[in-house]
Structure 1
């Protein structure tokens, strides 16, 4: 780190580093491919899942490439929820007139021309005659754009020449696929622009400078662009399913984490400029002081993300690879490019609040040094008599009366009371998890009530039929027996044998309940259990389909959580152990971020159920929220604890923690608020999972920044004193002379 700092801050070498970095970036932008991932996220279960086996076998059937569009005709608006009192409005809607039924029959004839089985396209009337349904088998599209175009064409045909007042809804597999794809259409650019705007605004507020914010924003934006190009190249090379949701999370993570690292580096640089006349020497100290903590924090996040490679779901593995690449690039841009850019721009970059060495301190003797690094300079100029001979000088004048200094003194004065209140607050928020559920129905995964969701509700209410579907593949020799066995299973409404191929016969099963609901999942489990307990070839029967695929995904996601969460905790603990050289501190820090995670989930669950109307967490939310909150939450604790370890050498454990809180409080709080705001941006996409992840991470980051890292962790450190760092001993570490422009040695925290 010291060699890198000298290279970045040299009078000529800093310019060379900056120019070479820009040339390399330009070359990579020109050579690497752009993202070519599908717009909509992958919905595939693991290859070993039963539904995946059914999907593989169905590809060998004559109608393997078939899909289905369901088109509903009725007056008025779709009911809000199945079983909701507003659905009673459907019963008083007027019956379809003869002219309207004739028009619907004409639309069926037109839609039949787009179907490979036109004879099957016939309108069906509901029992009360207030709604009509046309089932349109269509050729399946292999691309997202193809599905969107197909849905648009079917809507156009269905709505042509209809009588006034008659409404149409397209639902079924085609409708849901098209609406999901449309939800992500243009998501990359929209999310990128909003994220950049939020970061720019918060940087301007933080720095109160019309110029300074541009440097970190440009550096981080270049890192985000490079990350997208690199991820696209890796995805194309290794056939990784990178979709718009992953790219959206990637941008948010790179902007959030990269800006956080930039804030911490610039804050340390500014702090050194107050005691160091030479900006190059100040940057050398900033890089060698803050750099190891930033590197450790970024490495924690990247390694935690790489634990997703052990997941069974391809989407989880793709997210881990993509975001780990993004964090690595954000780290490289912050530690390699940003210091050189800041040094080249000189001290005036901070205008109008330019940090300068106070006149009375410009020629101060070493004994008057105040920061941990300056105190070490003074100590190094005297004979080495051990830590006890290095007196703890007074705190800097410009920090003794800040709000964070007052907070530090208050926590140090009453650590038990303040720590207890913080614990009660975290525990209270965690109680919001009571009654929480994981898993949304198909109609509950998109925000904004798209047409396919409305049509599904119309179908469920008007025709009073189960929305759940399963595709059963039985050996042809026992197909009739398998269908009869299915009809006797609880939750199964009908079972109809169909085509045969490769020794199997397809049986289409209708299940009671809304698609992907708990009721439908119970029916699929009962089906599978019934066939597993049967005799002979019936035991080889497989149950698949869209709902079964969703159930297998949910099961795989639960298995991934059980495996990945302990792995992430192990990685974080190991990094903290190596960085802090303590056993007690890492345990406390990990427990604090886990508590923050549980409190955030609880607060999020209350907000989702009682304010936003989300009945449950999406399947991916629990794991992703844990990943981001634990990895990013540890970041702030790393920045605080490494500074406390540095100050401990001269001030002791308690005073060192108070000084660390005073020095890092402002910048970490700014970084936390910025990261929270950036994750909220995920809510601009009309997808419940991303909105939930963004909200939970926002709550967690704010809670960690304002309560856990500010009050709880320091309170515990004050109560434990030197035991907080057990078994590490308090002693000074000195770097070789000359690190501060020829000054004597500088102690380096945790390096």
Structure 2
């Protein structure tokens, strides 16, 4: 019989070898379909998105717009101007340009700019990057503009995969070594997480091919973080329960079956909640948010499948020796440790639940006030934590041409009304000049230069005035309009997706806990954590990190992640608390027992998850850094404040009413059992 059980373990491993072999060619293609164009992040229904799509269909395809900047602090010399003219002529000779570049000198004589536009690269990102690099080789000045910004952003996102993966693996490895205190055990969940990440890449590529979901550098980076963070959490819970069962059950196979029965339902429910929460992002209009939903859900589900099949098989095949030197012997009892930190925390919450609850709630509310200090909307040139050449060029232009738009506003109008539209555009307040561009497929392109700096209040007002004056059928786009549409759509997406996430999470919790009060407590707690984490971001983003703005998608994405992941730990705690109540404890003592027995493993899981998201803080994109910081801080608040004090104290205060209207709210205690009358095990 034992031999047959070992064969089951080897059979699962053989099945995974087949899965990996099938996934390998698909996973390797994910990078080929990753796109970081503006249209991949824009709102699906916005004017600027329509402009981006239509310009791709015009003769020559999408245009790559650059600004060549020549600057000397003391003033440009005649030799400088001659050099600039010669280099620009060389660029024009080497590439087909939409119009001859004209020099535009600054009033103080320190700067000269040339606007360069070419349809040669079209929509091919590789060709665009090659064009930008060739121009940079030909000119001695700085190369900026939307095309250069896109190339610099693409290179940054393209460089994330390796450092992000290696740093995440290193962080998880160090934490697992500290947690397990074993030279071998930490490798097992880490290898399984790596396999899950590989599988998630293959599944994401398949979804892209079948359903055309958006795949960006941001979404794949977050997917990797989720696989390692959430996957390691599930591994910690399973290994903790398995270790305890090995002391009670002689055979590793039987111990693993008991461990899966004990913690499997909670892990399934928590991962399902996270996946469903992520899929709520499909309701967003923002392409970047909507694309992140499926990829994040894929990451969580692949981590779940690997941790509930491959990890158990490896542990069973390796046997007890994998825990060396702290091997759990059959029939042994765990060493009696000193009174745990979580027991002490639980005792304070149990003795003074109301003051603890009020103090914790007040602390979260005070931290949430920091939201009022969040910097304004993040500008395109402030998206990098370093200063690439495109950003340096835009800063030079902003200083030299404070009252001149240095990147065009692009209009798309029907061919039949182009002359009328052009006349109305030139009469619009805030427009410096407007010129007709390409035509084709029933549309004409109009290039507009505003009389204000890019993404300034004046230019924003001009864009809104153009849209108001031109009405339906004429689309206003370009880089500044794209940023404006993203900000407007983010606010709209929040009003749709946030209530949807709350409803979905509540339904799952009500079904799992068979209660209405307990789910409301958990959801209220994670919403409070989200507000506090954003508030802390408001206190440190500008002063500590030097971030010049807040990403428009930060509020929505951080809400979805923190609610889904925070409820994860609430499920582990409440599921154990419900188990204690079913075994005879009142709700208050059951909450303390659940905290004592699960607090350590939940704290370890929270530290791992927070550390993996903290990896994003060191990435060179401000959007990722802000998202990683808020989620990491939120997870730590949830783990060490909300789960430990607020949920526990609320449960003690409410007693059996925490399970209302379920049967446990009315069920009398059936056994007079002390809190220590049952052997503690993991979740």
Query: Which of 718, 721, 731 is the aligned partner of 2:655?
Result: 721
Q: Which of 269-278 and 333-342 deviates more?
A: 269-278
Would you say 1:224 and 2:197 are equivalent positions?
yes
Query: Which of 282, 290, 293 is the aligned partner of 1:317?
Result: 290
Query: Which of 13, 30, 37 is the aligned partner of 2:33?
Result: 37
Q: How many residues are aligned here? A: 668
- Per-residue CA distance 1:227-256 (angstroms, 9 max, x = gap): 111211221233222122211111001110
Distance in 2, matches of 1:468 and 1:672, equals: 45
**1:630 deviation in Å?**
0.5
**Which residue number corresponds to residue 430 of structure 2?**
491
**1:479 deviation in Å?**
4.2
Q: Point out 4+ residue stretches in structure 1 off by more than 6 angstroms.
A: 6-9, 746-750
**1:545 deviation in Å?**
2.5
Q: Could you state the TM-score of these two structures normalised by the residue count of structure 1?
A: 0.83
**Which residue number corresponds to residue 131 of structure 2?**
150
**1:518 deviation in Å?**
4.6
Would you say 1:49 and 2:46 are equivalent positions?
yes
Would you say 1:620 and 2:553 are equivalent positions?
yes
Distance in 1, matches of 2:515 and 2:554, equals: 32
**1:120 deviation in Å?**
1.3
**Which residue number corresponds to residue 598 of structure 2?**
664
> Alpha carbons of 1:416 and 1:451: their partners in 2 closer, same or farther (altered >3 Å)?
same
**Which residue number corresponds to residue 425 of structure 1?**
363
**Which residue number corresponds to residue 410 of structure 2?**
471
Distance in 1, matches of 2:11 and 2:574, equals: 34
Query: Secondary structure at the residue paired with 2:239?
Result: helix
> Alpha carbons of 1:664 and 1:595: their partners in 2 closer, same or farther (altered >3 Å)?
same
**Which residue number corresponds to residue 375 of structure 1?**
none
**Which residue number corresponds to residue 380 of structure 1?**
none
**Which residue number corresponds to residue 27 of structure 1?**
22
**1:322-333 counterparts in 2 under 5 A?**
322-333=295-306
Q: Which of 290-299 and 465-474 deviates more?
A: 465-474
Query: Secondary structure at the residue paired with 1:12?
Result: helix
Distance in 2, matches of 1:252 and 1:209, equals: 24
Would you say 1:236 and 2:174 are equivalent positions?
no
Distance in 2, matches of 1:59 and 1:651, equals: 67
- The answer to whether the Cα contact below 8 Å between 1:107 and 1:158 also exists between their aligned partners in 2 is yes
Q: Could you state the TM-score of these two structures normalised by the residue count of structure 2?
A: 0.91
Query: Secondary structure at the residue paired with 1:635?
Result: helix
Q: Which of 712-721 and 561-570 deviates more?
A: 561-570
- Per-residue CA distance 1:278-317 (angstroms, 9 max, x = gap): 4333322211111100000000011111112222233222
Query: Secondary structure at the residue paired with 2:663?
Result: coil
Query: Which of 633, 653, 658 is the aligned partner of 2:587?
Result: 653
Query: Which of 157, 162, 173 is the aligned partner of 1:189?
Result: 162
Would you say 1:99 and 2:79 are equivalent positions?
yes
**Which residue number corresponds to residue 582 of structure 1?**
515
- The answer to whether the Cα contact below 8 Å between 1:645 and 1:749 also exists between their aligned partners in 2 is no
Distance in 1, matches of 2:302 and 2:456, equals: 41
**1:706 deviation in Å?**
0.7
Q: Which of 26-35 and 681-690 deviates more?
A: 26-35
> Alpha carbons of 1:732 and 1:17: their partners in 2 closer, same or farther (altered >3 Å)?
farther
Would you say 1:409 and 2:350 are equivalent positions?
no
Query: Which of 578, 584, 606 is the aligned partner of 2:539?
Result: 606
**Which residue number corresponds to residue 142 of structure 2?**
169
Query: Secondary structure at the residue paired with 2:164?
Result: helix
Distance in 2, matches of 1:22 and 1:540, equals: 55
Query: Which of 258, 261, 280 is the aligned partner of 1:307?
Result: 280
Query: Secondary structure at the residue paired with 2:325?
Result: coil
Query: Secondary structure at the residue paired with 1:316?
Result: helix
- The answer to whether the Cα contact below 8 Å between 1:184 and 1:685 also exists between their aligned partners in 2 is no
Distance in 2, matches of 1:528 and 1:222, equals: 50
Distance in 2, matches of 1:518 and 1:692, equals: 24
> Alpha carbons of 1:478 and 1:246: their partners in 2 closer, same or farther (altered >3 Å)?
closer
- The answer to whether the Cα contact below 8 Å between 1:171 and 1:453 also exists between their aligned partners in 2 is yes
Query: Secondary structure at the residue paired with 1:320?
Result: helix
- The answer to whether the Cα contact below 8 Å between 1:473 and 1:543 also exists between their aligned partners in 2 is yes
Would you say 1:211 and 2:184 are equivalent positions?
yes
Query: Secondary structure at the residue paired with 2:620?
Result: coil
Would you say 1:68 and 2:68 are equivalent positions?
no
Distance in 2, matches of 1:528 and 1:317, equals: 26
Query: Secondary structure at the residue paired with 1:341?
Result: helix
- The answer to whether the Cα contact below 8 Å between 2:244 and 2:681 also exists between their aligned partners in 1 is no
**1:295-374 counterparts in 2 under 5 A?**
295-356=268-329
**1:503 deviation in Å?**
5.6
**1:435 deviation in Å?**
4.2
Larger Rg: 1
- The answer to whether the Cα contact below 8 Å between 1:468 and 1:513 also exists between their aligned partners in 2 is no
